[in-house]
Amino acid sequence: MTQTVAVLGTGKIGEALLSGMIRAGWHAADLLVTTRRTERADELQGRYGVDSVSNAEAAKRADTLILAVKPQDMGKLLDELAPHLTADRLVISAAAGITTSFIEERLAPGTPVVRVMPNTPVLVDEGMSVISAGSHATGEHIVHAEEIFGGVGKTLRVPESQQDAATALSGSGPAYFYFLVEAMTDAGILLGLPRAQAHDLIVQAAIGAAVMLRDSGEHPVKLREAVTSPAGTTISAIRELENHGVRAALIAALEAARDRSRELASGNG
Ligand SMILES: NC(=O)C1=CN([C@@H]2O[C@H](COP(=O)(O)OP(=O)(O)OC[C@H]3O[C@@H](n4cnc5c(N)ncnc54)[C@H](O)[C@@H]3O)[C@@H](O)[C@H]2O)C=CC1
Ligand SMILES: O=C(O)[C@@H]1CCC=N1
């Protein structure tokens, strides 16, 4: 059976997901988008050939609705959808912090809700999408969510109680690596390298390290030890990282992200 999927709130993550679904073989005719601005609707229509409709129309026509608005906009969107949405539709939320019960309380009794935390590497089919079932979502609903998000990367099922932590690690995760690359590129400038060269060196080091982390089967400590020669350069750098508390800073940073996700749960954080 052909399924129609609507992406409601097609900003950064909504568009990333939409583009990935089209790459993964979804037909534009089976996809709908909703936007706040008509210029944005025209842009998406031109780029992907998808129809842009109102939220009410999406609720009526789509079998699966992916909610990709900001957590602060979720209450308003659900109020708009509720009069038009029947409990035979699957609702998938990609919003940080928003719980499945927050959504269930605002929709028809029994509506299946799945909470997913994707990340922007869905744009290059290397996403990570962490998936949890709400109280009315069946195994079949989860499999359907895995089919959608699995087309653009890996998926992982977790109990919803772990979603705020997963958001801190995985949803926000790419930003930490971009931040590190930015800082290390600046360090390259300080050491006298041209910016473009510094950027290329650090990005390739990141890609090489990422592939080794994924493919070697080695623990990160082993991989780092193999780079760290006795009385060499790497240990001099590591000592500075430890002196500046980088490990503690990362732990505190991810804890702050987890706490912020919890705060967003109210939908007006
Ligand atoms: N950017 C990221 O890396 C990730 C974002 N998320 C979640 O995705 C959601 C969206 O985040 P971004 O894409 O970064 O934000 P964004 O601001 O780029 O996208 C949100 C879009 O929703 C639209 N919108 C708001 N209310 C609407 C309504 N009633 N009807 C139709 N469209 C509406 C806005 O105009 C905007 O284009 C958030 O809940 C965030 O927690 C989840 C994982 C990763
Ligand atoms: O920063 C945020 O709130 C969103 C959720 C995960 C990544 N970006």
Ranges of residues in the chain with a pLDDT under 70 are 1
**Nearest-atom index, ligand 1, CA of 34:** 31
The strands making up 113-117's β-sheet, listed across from edge to edge, are: 51-52, 31-34, 5-8, 64-67, 90-93, 113-117, 127-133, 153-157
Model pLDDT for residues 22-37, shown as the tens digit of each residue: 999 999 999 999 999 9
Test site for ligand 2: of 115, 163, 167, 263, most ligand atoms within 8 A of the Cβ: 167
Model pLDDT for residues 109-167, shown as the tens digit of each residue: 999 999 999 999 999 999 999 999 999 999 999 999 999 999 999 999 999 999 999 99
Backbone Cα Rg of the chain: 21
Could you tell me the distance, in angstroms and rounded to a whole number, from the CA of residue 246 to the centre of ligand 1? Answer: 31
Distance, CA of 179 to CA of 244 (rounded, Å): 16
Of all protein residues, whose CA lies closest to atom 1 belonging to ligand 2?
172
Angle at 88 between CA 136 and CA 159, to 5 degrees: 25
Q: Is 20 in the pocket of ligand 2 (CB under 6 A)?
A: no
Of all protein residues, whose CA lies closest to atom 3 belonging to ligand 2?
96
How many CA atoms are closer than 13 Å to the CA of 67, on its beta-carbon side? Answer: 29
Distance, CA of 165 to CA of 148 (rounded, Å): 22
Could you tell me the distance, in angstroms and rounded to a whole number, from the CA of residue 119 to the centre of ligand 2? Answer: 8
Q: Is 34 in the pocket of ligand 2 (CB under 6 A)?
A: no
What's the gap between Cα 115 and its chain centre? Answer: 11
Q: Is 167 in the pocket of ligand 2 (CB under 6 A)?
A: yes
Helix (H, G, I), strand (E, B) or coil at 48: helix
Q: Delineate the domains of the chain, giving CATH numbers in brackets.
A: 5-158 (3.40.50.720), 173-263 (1.10.3730.10)
Neighbours of 224 (CB within 10 A): 13
Distance, CA of 225 to CA of 132 (rounded, Å): 37
**What pLDDT, on the 0 to 100 scale, is given for residue 1?**
54
Q: Is 194 left (phi over 0), alpha (psi -120 to 50) or beta?
A: beta
